[in-house]
Each structure stands twice: as C-alpha cells, then as structure tokens.
Structure 1
C-alpha cells in the first residue's frame, strides 16, 4: 500500500495553529492526492478523516497518531 502524509484543514482552534497550519497531518492513499488537488475531491485518511487536499506535509511535520498507528500496523513487520 502506498501512502503519503498530507494536511487536513482544521477550523477547530484546538487542533490548528494561529497561522492556519494544522497541528497534525494525515496518511492517505498516494494515488488520491493529485486527484483531490486537481479536482477538489475529498480523500479519506487512514484514521477515517475526510477532507480535500490543500497542502503536503514537510519532513518532520507532526502526524496524526491514529493514522500513524494504523500505517505501522499495515507495514510488513509492523507491530
């Protein structure tokens, strides 16, 4: 399974920063990212969050703990 970490836009002040940068990024199927960015369709993160792609995560960005746990369980040798 190929996934990539992308941003989920948050409007809840508890989950986003003051400059509208999300506090966490989510894992989604890689082949859905371009489609969402171009067509404006929504993607479904591993944790179940549904949102349109608006930004890509930079290396070192915080990842949704639920997405990370699910992703690690899918990988060969994952716990």
Structure 2
C-alpha cells in the first residue's frame, strides 16, 4: 500500500526511532498538514521513507534526519 504524497510536500522531520532514554535517533519527513492531527488525535502518519507511526516528538534544530526520507525529499524538490 502506498501513501499519497504531494509533488512538493510541505514537510518537517518527525521522530519515531528512539534510543534507550526515549530520545529519537532520527526524525522522519511527513506531510505537514498531518503532524498536528497525529499529535492531537494519535492518528498514524506515513513518512517519505514509508515508516508508519503516530507523531510523538518535535525535532529541534540540528536533529538527525532519516537518510531514506532525506533522499526521497531531495529527489522530489530537486
């Protein structure tokens, strides 16, 4: 099953993978219009790399980004 994406999505990284102290290892790119809905309602979002998860954390400047999401985003915006 593939998720619909925009040609040039308005995205920002969102975290899913965590370390033992519950801090995200990497943040994923997801559709911006789905972030607030997921954070409030607990609904699932689909990252550009295909990961499916509920948004639970917000990235800080300099946070690591999922390399697969970054590659997809660069191909879409390039």
TM-score normalised to the size of structure 2?
0.84
Shift of 1:22: 1.7
Structure 2 unaligned runs (5+)? 1-8
Unaligned runs of 5+ in 1: 11-15
Which consecutive segments of 4 or more residues in structure 1 shift more than 2 A? Answer: none
1:73 corresponding residue in structure 2: 75
What secondary structure sits across from 1:24 in the alignment?
strand
Offset, 1:35: 0.5
Match of 1:25 in 2: 27
- CA apart distance, 1:18: 2.6
How many residue pairs were aligned?
70
Distance 1:62 1:70 in 2: 16
Task: Name the structure with the higher strand share.
Answer: 2
Match of 1:34 among 24, 33, 36: 36
Q: 1:7 aligns with which of 7, 15, 27?
A: 15
CA distance in 2, matches of 1:56, 1:22: 9
Instruction: Please report the RMSD computed on the Cα atoms of aligned residues, expressed in angstroms.
Output: 0.9
